[in-house]
Amino acid sequence: MVRNGSEKKEKFQILKQNVQSCSVGVENTKFNEDKIQKSHLKLALNIISRRMVTKKELVDKFKTKYQEEISDDVVEKLENMKLIDDEKIAEIECRNLAERKLYANSRIKVHLMKRGLSSDLISKYLNFDDEKTRALSLLRKKYKSASQKEKASRLLFSYGYSYSVIKSCIEEYFNEFS
């Protein structure tokens, strides 16, 4: 599914409005340590207004600069406001990396685990049946002649495909040229 530019702008505007309305709410919120916690919340809103972040990424960002108790409260508040949603990130990123980047499931899993998502959550959204189709799509996109088998194998390996998938896809794709 290819999204046009206006659809992306529209979604970004909605996210920006949500973050701005939350910022206004921050000014009126009373915390135990008012000024410190408000500044934490503003920083968190600034971070999540740029891109979707996982709970772990936000906690790591706070860990270096701020007190842990306040950071935990801010992260919990953002989760309650549904501005941090690891499950939504897993769903969107699995689909994006599979459909647009044509990555193998193993590479998607490693990428998302680095972002702090659990293995179970990632597995919930991975499409295991589609891997060979993605590899063949990648080959069709990149290679137009039969003389590039080794290069094609290296490409598929770099995208995270297993040896068995690489072997079967190379044979199937390059036999079309024979």
Of residues 155 and 65, more confidence is placed in 155
Output phi, psi for 53, to 5 deg. -120, 150
pLDDT at 146: 77
pLDDT at 36: 73
For residue range 125-143, list pLDDT tens digits in order: 998 888 999 999 999 999 8
Band the pLDDT of 151: cuts 50, 70, 90.
very high
pLDDT at 86: 94
Alpha-carbon distances of 46 from 18, 43, 130, 144, rounded to whole Å? 12, 5, 37, 45
Band the pLDDT of 165: cuts 50, 70, 90.
very high
Q: Where are the domains of the chain?
A: 5-84, 87-125, 131-175
Distance of CA 157 to the CA centre of its chain: 21
